[in-house]
Amino acid sequence: MTDNSYNGWENYETWNVSLWISNDEGLYRSAARYAQGAVYPSYSEFIIQQGLDNAATADGVSYTDDRLGLEELDEFIQELSA
Residues 6+ apart with CB under 8 A from 76: 18, 21, 43
Q: Stretch 45-61: mean pLDDT, rounded?
A: 97
**CB burial class (10 A; 0-12, 13-18, 19+) of residue 15?**
buried
Q: Stretch 25-33: mean pLDDT, rounded?
A: 97
Buried-exposed string 20-42: b where 16+ CB fall within 10 A, e elsewhere = bbeeeeebeebbbebbeeeeebb
Residue 1 has pLDDT above 60, yes or no: no
